[in-house]
């Protein structure tokens, strides 16, 4: 048994930030499925929304967030993130993150702020169109150099250990975790009283997503199995503009492109967003994604087009070098012609329910970043608010854990017992189930839903869950098997939450109830394993 003061699962902006803070108070283990730098954060293009300009204000940023959240944001959470954000941005800059700058009117340098959908002001800090990669770089360098942080790459968390499941007569608490060494296949036991989920989202539960392959909802599934409350999983954000190309299925075309003036065109080359919202291309993401979905269904086209070719070529290539280079490698020149795009699953607005300090309903378990449901996003995330949320809650959770840190209690925890299991003899069955879940979710639980489709999805997922459980108990655990187990759990939670919300609001649009319920709308749809 390995013992640490803090165990962190995930190495994105939330996990890395928490690790640096927790390491000042004790020993830290940081578990990550692949390399340390592999995370959703590293794929983030647009930037970090924060009030840093004298032309902006906290009240405006709060208002924009509340409007995007369609009435379901926790206003206290919104105010906390917005007002504490500037201090966290200053910390990032002090750690070596380089945001783009421009010449100010007085000849000095100032931050170059972008604008994205739903924002009333320019407030998005960015590093060209690879902001997440720049943030990840700076944080990884600090984590690797810190002597108090043990990095466990190519390790995957399996399940939490809780005092309730172990039969201890005390308040149910999270006291450690089983962790698979993906290289050797052995399962290790890690003991900790502070356990932090920073494992990101679940984009891979859908057939088309902008997320990397690691985004399989592991943290939410683990927290649910441990008995923590899960909230608002019906609110899955579909990014309006994912590159449509047969060779590349998960390349994001940043919202910042629309923020700099790009327009959406139908198959006939005509703009259509003015028919859907007064802000046109700069409407909130849920509205733009549904508008594109509607246009594609109306015309039968496979995609729509995003056009910024009317802007000067040197501006486009300098502002969006990553997107330009990727498109060019596929024979698409965005400085000369429109980019074919479609919506794709992008961000999990729900997750493990937390308070304003990142604490979950299970003592000893914290959740931060995309894995958490803090109340900030409501029914729809405002563009570029997610990285700011991760920074603010990493700070608040680290402070709370530090204030309440006590001498580690001594427990005799059971080592992993594999039992009489064998190697998976037919991997094709796992891959088939993986594919079936993702296609089922895309077809039945996508941008526009119906109760009939959701019920069909729920029925099939129950059967798949039983099949996957049989695999889990009869075969040696592997990363593929664990991810499949987590995917079917998260898919079921999304469907159950969607069936529970009998209204259309934000990212959840259901034809059986096409209008919001303004009489008594539930702010949270919650589930807890009994």
What percent of the chain stands above pLDDT 90? 78
Of the candidates 58, 84, 359, 82, the residue with the CA atom closest to the CA atom of residue 74: 82
pLDDT in tens, the chain (530 residues): 899 999 999 999 999 999 999 999 999 999 999 998 888 887 888 899 999 999 999 999 999 999 999 999 999 999 999 999 999 999 999 999 999 998 887 778 889 999 888 899 999 999 988 898 999 999 999 999 999 999 999 999 999 999 988 888 778 999 999 999 999 999 999 999 999 999 999 999 998 899 988 999 999 999 999 999 999 999 999 999 999 998 887 899 988 899 899 999 999 999 999 999 999 999 988 899 999 999 998 899 999 999 999 999 999 999 999 999 999 999 999 999 999 999 999 999 999 999 999 999 999 999 999 999 999 999 999 989 999 999 999 999 999 998 877 777 777 889 998 776 777 666 777 888 999 999 999 999 999 999 999 999 999 999 999 999 988 888 889 999 999 999 999 999 999 999 999 999 999 999 999 999 988 767 899 999 87
Q: Kindly report, residue by residue over 63-115, the tens digit of the pLDDT.
A: 999 999 999 999 999 999 999 999 999 999 999 999 999 888 777 888 999 98
How far, in Å, are 122, 158, 378 from residue 65 at the CA level? Answer: 14, 35, 9
How far is Cα of residue 368 from the mean position of the Cα atoms in its chain?
10
Phi, psi of 285 (to 5 degrees): -60, -40
Say how many CA atoms lie within 13 Å of 162 toward its Cβ.
19
Q: Among candidates 197, 228, 159, 231, which has minimal Cα distance to 496?
A: 231
Alpha-helical segments (H) within 203-303: 218-226, 255-259, 285-299
CA–CA gap between residue 457 and residue 434 (Å, rounded): 14
All residues at 6 or more sequence positions from 82 whose CB lies less than 8 Å from its CB, including other chains: 51, 58, 61, 62, 65
Q: At what angle do helices 131-145 and 75-95 cross, to 10 degrees?
A: 70
- Domains located in the chain, CATH noted: 240-346 (3.90.700.10), 427-527 (1.20.58.100)
From the list 115, 123, 280, 285, the catalytic residue is: 285
Is 285 marked active-site? Answer: yes
């Amino acid at each position: 048994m390995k013992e640490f003061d803090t165990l962190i699962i995930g190495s994105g902006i939330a996990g890395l930030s928490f690790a640096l803070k927790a390491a000042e108070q004790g020993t830290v283990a940081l578990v990550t499925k692949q390399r340390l730098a592999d995370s959703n954060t590293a794929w983030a293009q647009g930037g970090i929304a924060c009030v840093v300009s004298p032309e902006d204000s906290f009240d405006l940023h709060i208002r924009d967030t509340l409007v995007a959240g369609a009435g379901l944001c926790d206003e206290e959470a919104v105010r906390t993130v917005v007002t504490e954000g500037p201090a966290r941005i200053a910390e990032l800059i002090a750690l070596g993150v380089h945001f783009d700058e421009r010449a100010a009117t007085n000849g000095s340098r100032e931050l170059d702020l972008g604008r994205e959908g739903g924002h009333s002001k320019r407030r998005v800090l960015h590093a060209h169109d690879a902001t997440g990669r720049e943030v990840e770089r700076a944080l990884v360098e600090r984590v690797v150099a810190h002597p108090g942080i043990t990095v466990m790459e190519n390790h995957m968390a399996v399940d939490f250990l809780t005092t309730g499941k172990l039969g201890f007569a005390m308040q149910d608490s999270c006291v450690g975790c089983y962790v698979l060494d993906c290289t050797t296949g052995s399962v290790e036991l890690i003991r900790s009283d502070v356990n932090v989920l920073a494992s990101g989202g679940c984009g891979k539960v859908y057939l088309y997503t902008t997320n990397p392959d690691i985004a399989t909802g592991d943290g939410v599934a683990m927290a649910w199995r441990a008995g923590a409350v899960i909230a608002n999983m019906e609110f899955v954000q579909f990014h309006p503009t994912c590159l449509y190309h047969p060779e590349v299925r998960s390349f994001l075309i940043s919202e910042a492109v629309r923020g700099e003036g790009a327009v959406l065109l139908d198959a006939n080359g005509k703009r259509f967003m003015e028919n859907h919202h007064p802000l046109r291309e700069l409407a909130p993401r849920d509205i733009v994604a549904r508008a594109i979905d509607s246009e594609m269904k109306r015309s039968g086209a496979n995609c729509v087009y995003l056009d910024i070719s009317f802007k000067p070529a040197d501006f486009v290539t300098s502002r969006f070098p990553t997107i330009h280079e990727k498109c060019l490698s596929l024979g698409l020149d965005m400085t000369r012609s429109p980019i074919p795009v479609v919506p794709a699953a992008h961000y999990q607005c729900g997750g493990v329910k937390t308070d304003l300090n990142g604490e979950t309903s299970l003592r000893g378990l914290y959740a931060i970043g995309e894995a958490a449901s803090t109340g900030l996003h409501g029914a729809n995330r405002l563009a570029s608010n997610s990285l700011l949320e991760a920074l603010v809650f990493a700070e608040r959770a680290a402070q709370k854990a530090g204030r309440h840190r006590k001498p580690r209690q001594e427990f005799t925890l059971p080592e992993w017992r594999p039992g009489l299991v064998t190697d998976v003899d037919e991997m094709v069955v796992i891959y088939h189930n993986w594919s079936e879940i993702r296609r089922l979710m895309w077809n039945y639980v996508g941008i526009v839903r119906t109760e009939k489709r959701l019920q069909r999805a729920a029925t099939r997922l129950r059967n798949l869950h039983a099949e996957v459980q049989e695999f889990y108990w009869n075969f040696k655990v592997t990363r593929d098997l664990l991810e499949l187990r987590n995917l079917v759990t998260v898919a079921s939670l999304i469907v159950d939450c969607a069936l529970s919300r009998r209204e259309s609001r934000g990212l959840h649009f259901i034809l059986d109830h096409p209008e919001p319920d303004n009489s008594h709308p539930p702010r949270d749809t919650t589930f807890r394993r009994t």
